[in-house]
Amino acid sequence: MTGRDSSGFDLYTLSEEHQMLRESIRALAEAKIAPHAAAVDEEARFPQEALDALVAADMHAVHVPEEYGGNGADAVAAAIIVEEVARACASSSLIPAVNKLGSMPVILSGSEDLKRRYLTPLAQGRAMFSYCLSEPDAGSDAAGMKTRAVRDGDTWVLNGVKRWITNAGVSEYYTVMAVTDPDARSKGISAFVVEKSDEGVSFGAPEKKLGIKGSPTREVYFDNVRIPADRIIGEEGTGFATAMKTLDHTRITIGAQAIGIAQGALDYARGYVAERRQFGRPIGDFQGVQFMLADMAMKLEAARQLTYAAAARSERAHRGQKGQDLTFFGAAAKCFASDVAMEITTDAVQLLGGYGYTRDYPLERMMRDAKITQIYEGTNQIQRIVMARNLPQG
């Protein structure tokens, strides 16, 4: 059964253009990204091969609007790219995912000059964009941040620390949330664009992580960083609202990453059980294994459909259409897909038995990579709070 909504998006099937995009990015990921995935994880190094391949194919930041040199791709297309790259290498999928996360505040709230100044180099592949919200003492309670920005004539001076910043040290640009009015809590937070080259910007050592080891995660330090006043994103005091609107759109990207990781694990496990023989027959012939695969595929497809539905709502919201329940669907897609990814990758390891537990096979890496999708851009416990506060009308 298929249907089409008023914006032209299919409700139950992808368009021909989306299907062609999937084929294209899958071919690229399998040829240029997957061969390096194990080494990227083992060496905990940035996947430069993936960045080079994505930039060459113009798939590193497809969300950037055409007027700033980008593709102007819709949110479903952006999700498909992240999904297919994550199927090959979760660390590499954070290149397009975090480029969107970091630049979305500029797209949503930035001045025309700010958009042209920073989105164009991003679209051209000359820079990456990161997002600085969390702090050592402000994670789930992001409004409790302490990083300060003080106006000084035609400049702002930033001081503070941001933690868990994805691709820190590699990205050239950073969207930074900072307190401009300490007495106003969330309404006293503003957003700024900070450049890696700004005097006073420095980075901590890379975190030693369970998974996504190829994507550097570091603290970012701001020591009397003086930036021009026109680098503020939107009006003073609107930064927290912009940050939350950004997450409504980009949590869907994490849902896409999760289903990509899960798809890669299911594909590998399915091939393995068809070849692995015990008791004189392929283990895939046993009903217990078949039931595991069926449950994995069923939950994965449910997560995919929810994520695409959320992406379509993201696109409609970006076009100014109201009443699409984006906050609920964004949180639901991220929460459900990441829970499913953790379950599927764990079951895939189980299907390989002892082999699944070794680094000779990719499933232990996929299982480790899947875990973070339940944590970043808001833990799944926070997602459930978000959903409960934004239940859609029946």
377 classed as catalytic: yes
- The string of pLDDT tens digits covering residues 351-372 is 999 999 999 999 999 999 999 9
Residues 6+ apart with CB under 8 A from 156: 149, 150, 192, 226, 227, 228, 229, 231, 232
We find that the CATH architecture of domain 16-123 is Orthogonal Bundle (1.10)
Residue recorded with tokens 């994550």: 86
CATH class of 129-237: mainly beta
- The string of pLDDT tens digits covering residues 242-276 is 999 999 999 999 999 999 999 999 999 999 999 99
What is the pTM for the complete model shown?
Answer: 0.95
Same fold: 16-123 with 129-237: no
Task: Report the pLDDT value the prediction gives residue 319, as an integer from 0 to 100.
Answer: 85
Nearest CA among 150, 203, 220, 152 for reference residue 180:
150
| Residue 10 pLDDT > 70 | no
| Residue 9 pLDDT > 70 | no
CB 365 within 8 A of CB 359: yes
CB 192 within 8 A of CB 149: yes
- Beta strands 129-132 and 189-195, pairing class: unpaired
Task: Report the pLDDT value the prediction gives residue 322, as an integer from 0 to 100.
Answer: 72
Out of 166-180, 185-199, 307-321, least confident range: 307-321
CB 135 within 8 A of CB 147: yes
Domain ranges of the chain: 16-123, 129-237, 240-389
Task: Report the pLDDT value the prediction gives residue 3, as an integer from 0 to 100.
Answer: 45
CB 198 within 8 A of CB 227: yes
Task: Report the pLDDT value the prediction gives residue 348, as an integer from 0 to 100.
Answer: 98
CATH 1.20.1440.60 fits 240-389, yes or no: no
